[in-house]
Amino acid sequence: MNARTCLSVILAAGEGTRMKSALPKVLHPVAGLPMVAHVVRAAVTAGAGEVALVVGNGAEAVGAAVEPYAPGSRSFVQAERRGTAHAALSAREAIAKGYDDIVFLCGDAPLIAPEAIEALRAELAGGAEVVVLGFRPPDPTGYGRLIERNDSLVAIREEKDCTDEERRIGFCNSGVIAVAGTSALLLLDAVGNRNAKGEFYLTDIVEIAHARGLSTKAIEGAYENALGINNRVELAAAEAMWQARKRREMMLAGVTLIAPETVFFSWDTAIGADTVVEPSVWFGPGVTVAEGVRIHSFSHFEKAVIGAASEVGPFARLRPGADLRKGVKVGNFCEIKKSVVEDGAKINHLTYVGDATVGAKANLGAGTITCNYDGFSKFHTEIGAGAFIGSNSALVAPVRIGADAYIASGSVITEDVPDCGLAFGRARQSTKEGRGIELRARLAAAKEKAKARK
């Protein structure tokens, strides 16, 4: 089958009015990735050499969302909504190129598995002309029924057009159909619109092909493959299914999730074996975690790297560009952004590090801030290996703290500190003997006077 060529046609022109959103339906994300991009990634994994998008409103945005996963994909605009066969024929130019396999997929069904597409293509390679992916939902209401006879699929009937007997069939249409390239246009052009809705149904190609003596089949797949998204309730259901699948995958790969149902991953999250993730952790897109890491509760990561044997959290936030190397410790209520933290460095609590380099085995005390932004531009802070930054220090960028330098607690540092240097950047303390009692008395009297005025 690998030698066969394949075109995947993604039907993504639905307006999605039930989403109640200005965003095109297929761009709503599941696990941080637009649902249409999930479909395209599955198609490419299953061997699609070309991807054709049938789009409507927001065509440019849909094409841009897909491009990273199917470079060179083409978009075809369906100007009128006249049914799925009419949508498929919008991509006539691509279909006519002569691919061995044509696979029609739904852009709003993000949980389609590459293996399901591969199974359809295997049937085409074995001589079938039309193959449909079916499934058996708990309640078939609303789905088209797959009507079989003598091991052949003879028709797909939309529920509104079904007889009472056909409505009792539990084997349903997923919307995923594979067609031999030599037959695709001949079958599509033969589709009519004599049905309850007056639309041109892609599913009618089954009955047309069967009537012409062509081989038509249905194969059964998991329910998730057919889960189409029409509103935000269904979007949440798809997210839950995707997360459950990813959690299982992570645990089987050697990652410990203490409370799996409270941990949320993105589509590209990568975590090494022997990492432990405590409850209530969120992984945004672009996060990579190495082996043997401990991630404490209530931490939030996005476009960040966590090196082997590091420890992060609780209540830690790693923003885009945070790059923790091996054996780093980032503690509670710390935020790191666009910074490299070298091996063994410690940033234990209540600290902000942005646009910085923190050297190996440096130690940043509680309340340390790299002051990287002056309201107009960002500036870099360099902290050398082995440096010690005392608590409640502000490092005003651009500034360099040398290796093994020592910054006294409470300092505001505005100038470079050399290697092994000691820097104080705070006002001199002034102490007035006995004045504490006098001040307390004056303040208490003022408070009583204010009460009396009320």
Q: CA 161 to CA 76: how far, in whole Å?
A: 30
Q: CA 357 to CA 381: how far, in whole Å?
A: 6
C-beta separation of 97 from 7 below 8 A: yes
Cα four-point dihedral sign 77, 83, 89, 91: positive
β-bridge pairing 256-257 and 311-312: unpaired
C-beta separation of 140 from 162 below 8 A: no
Q: CA 237 to CA 249: how far, in whole Å?
A: 19
Peptide bond into 398 cis (omega under 30): yes
Q: CA 363 to CA 361: how far, in whole Å?
A: 6
Q: Which 3 state secondary structure label does DSSP give 450?
A: helix
What residues contact residue 438 under an 8 Å CB cut-off, 6+ apart? Answer: none
Amino acid at site 435? R
Indicate which residues carry an active-site annotation: 349
C-beta separation of 363 from 380 below 8 A: no
Q: CA 214 to CA 291: how far, in whole Å?
A: 53
Backbone angles phi, psi at 188, to 5 degrees: -65, -40
